[in-house]
Amino acid sequence: MLRSKVAMAHRLAGAVIIVLIAASFIATAYYLSYRSIRVTLDRVDFASPPLTLNMAKAPLAAIAFIATGDALSLLGVVESVNLKITLGLENPGFLALPLGPIRYELYMNDLLVAKGSSDRSVTIPPRGRSQIEFIQATKIPESGALASSIVRSRGILRVKVQGTVEVGGFLPLQVPFSEEESIDITQEVKTVAYQIASTVTRTTTPTKRLTATVEWLYEGSSVTTVVSGAIVTVQISIASTIAYSGTIVIDLRKDLAGLPDQSVQRISDFISLGAGEVKRYSLTLLTESPALLRGYFVEVRYDGEQWTMSNSYPPRLAVTQPTRGRLGVLSVTWFVGGREAYVARVGETVVARVVLRAEGGKVSGTLWVRIRKDTPFAPDTDFTGQSYSLDLAMGTGGETSLSFVPDKASGTDLRGYFIRVFLDGVEIWEMPNSYPPRLRVESIRYGSPQVSDAYWTIGGVRVTQAKVGDTVYARVVIKAIGGAVEGELTIRVRKDRVAVGDIDHTSRSFHISLAEGQSVELSLSFTADQKSSLTFRGFFIQVDLTSWSTSWTMPSSYPPRLKVV
């Protein structure tokens, strides 16, 4: 009886395990099937109407397009775009997928223009497909980033749809997607332009025979606002609504607050235009500081009629004061002998290198870099300084350097040297009050000269013997040991004679000035005039270190002494 109960318990446990495994397999299958949903951007088409134009500016832009064939002016007057966007939903799995809401964000040329959702519920059968369409009307502000991007891309709109689709019923998943496609709006703009142009040319009594468009260009880009001191190219297009011949005057004027407007530049020209024809003019303008100046505008006069740019900003060109940035001091470094250092010696040449950067705007003015003595118990004093003319665009950097020679060592009455930086007389930076980064200066340590090498050369080759008549160079290398050395020495080439005293053959005096560890090679030439014999062994070198009251003589063996054959 007990054995049968145990067997039944085993069978029951096995059945539970099988059910759990099956449930786990089914749950995994559902999860993988849900995750396999694919969302694609099937089509981006134009809705009806495909787009609208700014009708205050579209007629002139349409006429200019008809005359030149260039649709660039049309792109600048697009007011809105209406698109029909089709999303594809594909189920590659083996289970039917119930879909819930689709939430999306719509981008045009990388700019977010809309957010939305589709609440349509649909179930996609295994290996089935469905589509969802929605209409998106997008306003394009005239001076906004989207309008500028359409002109720069010459009518190409990059449309990106990204978001999530809800999959499943009881335990829904949010599956992300992101799809992109491009569409060219140029042809649709041209179609609308042809319709507008035909309406304009059929007008029998136009209010103006001539109209104009004005574009302000700064560094190659179209602008509506610039800072004072900017060089702006003014491009003026004169279009004729009907055939016209006569003299026109194009007047570039200042818009002054509280004062009569003033003419800046003027062009007078005789033109002959057919209906819809365009003639272009260009002026160069250096903008002034906006004290009473609001900006600039263009006026066109002809045969008693006048065209004046709209009294608003834009289209008039506004002028503002440039935003002055902050001058940042990125680093200040001392160099001695071409190497970075924080300690120098009196008399050494020190180079201070200052690295700068303009942050938050353009920085210009007079830069002063001053080297100062850090004096305890008394006010600090300027030691030297230098001024520079500075003109840095925002985000750009510059570097300047200043050399000086410390005249006093650090001690009880002088800690060292430091730097202050001024812009237009205002201090912007002072070196932190610690050592380092401030420069400490040591006294000169005096050492002694040492002959580290002495040898002979003929024709640049080191030798130990010469022939009679050869031109020989006696070469001596002097090294400063234990400190700096400065003084006089004499190098003598002497004859090594037997039984009688040695004599000088030639000699030369030198002045040396060496830092500790530094070496210098000195030389003098002579002619070997006598062959070595029983009474004349050869030549040797003697160095008289006059300033140090000592001398050095070449060892008496051959070599290093010079034998003559």
Q: Edge-to-edge strands of the sheet including 278-286?
A: 221-223, 210-218, 231-240, 278-286
Q: What is the pLDDT of residue 60?
A: 67
CATH ID of 326-442, from 3.40.50.720, 3.40.50.1000, 3.30.300.210, 2.60.40.10: 2.60.40.10
Tens of pLDDT, residues 406-439 = 999 999 999 999 999 999 888 999 999 999 999 9
Read off φ and ψ for residue 140, nearest 5 degrees: -120, 95
Dist. CA 263–CA 301, nearest whole Å:
13
Three-state DSSP class for residue 190: helix
Three-state DSSP class for residue 175: strand
Dist. CA 400–CA 367, nearest whole Å:
10
Look at 16-30, 251-265, 275-289, 453-467 and tell me which has the smallest mean pLDDT: 16-30
CATH fold, domain 206-320, is: Coagulation Factor XIII; Chain A, domain 1 (2.70.50)
Name the nearest CA neighbour of 372 among 332, 406, 409, 337: 406
Are 164 and 103 a contacting pair, CB within 8 Å? Answer: yes
Mean pLDDT of 334-360: 93
Are 443 and 484 a contacting pair, CB within 8 Å? Answer: no
Tens of pLDDT, residues 357-399 = 998 888 889 999 999 999 998 899 999 999 999 988 888 999 9
Dist. CA 162–CA 102, nearest whole Å:
10
Mean pLDDT of 46-60: 72
What are the structural domain ranges in the chain?
36-190, 206-320, 326-442, 448-564
Q: What is the pLDDT of residue 172?
A: 72
Name the nearest CA neighbour of 400 among 414, 415, 390, 411: 390
Name the nearest CA neighbour of 69 among 210, 226, 186: 186
Provide CB contacts within 8 A for 279, sequence distance 6+: 237, 238, 271, 273
Evaluate if residue 180 carries a pLDDT over 50: yes
Are 292 and 285 a contacting pair, CB within 8 Å? Answer: no
Are 429 and 410 a contacting pair, CB within 8 Å? Answer: no
Q: Greater confidence, 179 or 25?
A: 179
- Measure Cα distances from 505 to 163, 457, 463, 481 in Å: 99, 17, 19, 30
Dist. CA 383–CA 407, nearest whole Å:
10
Q: What is the pLDDT of residue 33?
A: 57
Q: What is the pLDDT of residue 203?
A: 34
Evaluate if residue 474 carries a pLDDT over 90: yes
Evaluate if residue 290 carries a pLDDT over 80: no
Tens of pLDDT, residues 198-225 = 554 333 333 467 888 999 999 889 999 9
**114 band by pLDDT with thresholds 50, 70 and 90:** confident
Q: What is the pLDDT of residue 207?
A: 42
User: Which of 66-80, 95-109, 233-247: highest mean pLDDT?
Assistant: 233-247
**183 band by pLDDT with thresholds 50, 70 and 90:** confident
Unique residue bearing structure tokens 């026109």: 248
**175 band by pLDDT with thresholds 50, 70 and 90:** confident
Evaluate if residue 331 carries a pLDDT over 60: yes
CATH ID of 448-564, from 2.60.40.10, 3.40.605.10, 3.10.110.10, 3.60.21.10: 2.60.40.10
Q: What is the pLDDT of residue 364?
A: 87
**H helices present in 55-94, as ranges:** 58-68, 72-75
Dist. CA 327–CA 356, nearest whole Å:
7
Evaluate if residue 484 carries a pLDDT over 90: no
Q: How many helices (DSSP H) and strands (DSSP E) are in the chain?
A: 5, 38
Average pLDDT, the chain: 84
Dist. CA 183–CA 152, nearest whole Å:
15
Q: What percent of the chain has pLDDT over 70?
A: 83
Amino acid residing at 2 = L
Q: How far apart are the first and last CA of the chain?
A: 130
**73 band by pLDDT with thresholds 50, 70 and 90:** low
CB burial string 343-363: b at 16+ within 10 A, e below: ebbebbebebbbebbbeeebb
Q: Give the max Cα distance, the chain.
A: 139
Same topology between domain 36-190 and domain 206-320: no
Look at 19-23, 223-227, 486-490 and tell me which has the smallest mean pLDDT: 19-23
Q: What percent of the chain has pLDDT over 90?
A: 44
For the domain 36-190, what is the CATH code? 2.60.40.10
Evaluate if residue 451 carries a pLDDT over 50: yes
What global pTM score does this model have? Answer: 0.37
Tens of pLDDT, residues 503-554 = 999 999 999 988 889 999 999 999 999 999 999 999 999 999 999 999 999 9
Amino acid residing at 160 = K
